[in-house]
C-alpha cells in the first residue's frame, strides 16, 4: 500500500487583508493522516518545519491543533513555503515507505 499525501500549491493561497499579502489555511496533519500519528498536531508540523529551516522571515506560522495557519508578506514567500512543505511531506512519505519494507 502506498502512503497518500497532499501537496500544496498556489491555488491553496488566499488573499489576506490583515497586514499580510496572502495566507494558507489547512489541516495539514489531517490531510496527510497516512504520514502522521493521530497524536501529531499541526503544532508539531510547524515546529518541525521551523527546525528544518523552511520558515523564512516573511512567514508567520500560527498553527492550532486542528488547523495550520500561515501568513506571508509576499506571494513569493507563500509559494516558497508551500514548496518546502510539499517537499517535506513527499520526503516523509518516502522514508515511511522504506521503513515499512523492513
* φ, ψ (nearest 5 deg) of residue 29: -65, -45
pLDDT for position 88: 93
Q: Reply yes or no on domain 10-94 having CATH 3.30.40.
A: no
| Domain ranges (residues) in the chain | 10-94
Q: What is the pLDDT of residues 53-77, one digit of tens each?
A: 889 999 999 998 888 999 999 999 9
pTM metric for this prediction: 0.86
- The helix/strand/coil state of 25 is strand
Average pLDDT of span 12-38: 87
Q: How many Å apart are CA 21 and CA 35, to the nearest integer? A: 30
Residues 6+ apart with CB under 8 A from 22: 13, 14, 15, 16, 71, 72, 75, 78
Amino acid at each position: 500500500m502506498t502512503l497518500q499525501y497532499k501537496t500544496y500549491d498556489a491555488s491553496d493561497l488566499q488573499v489576506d487583508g490583515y497586514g499580510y499579502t496572502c495566507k494558507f489555511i489547512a489541516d495539514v496533519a489531517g490531510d496527510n493522516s497516512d504520514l502522521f500519528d493521530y497524536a501529531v498536531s499541526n503544532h508539531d508540523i510547524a515546529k518541525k518545519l521551523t527546525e528544518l529551516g523552511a520558515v523564512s522571515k516573511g512567514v508567520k506560522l500560527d498553527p492550532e491543533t486542528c488547523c495550520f495557519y500561515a501568513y506571508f508578506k509576499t506571494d513569493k514567500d507563500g509559494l516558497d513555503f508551500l514548496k518546502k512543505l510539499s517537499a517535506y511531506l513527499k520526503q516523509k512519505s518516502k522514508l515511511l515507505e522504506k521503513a515499512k519494507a523492513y
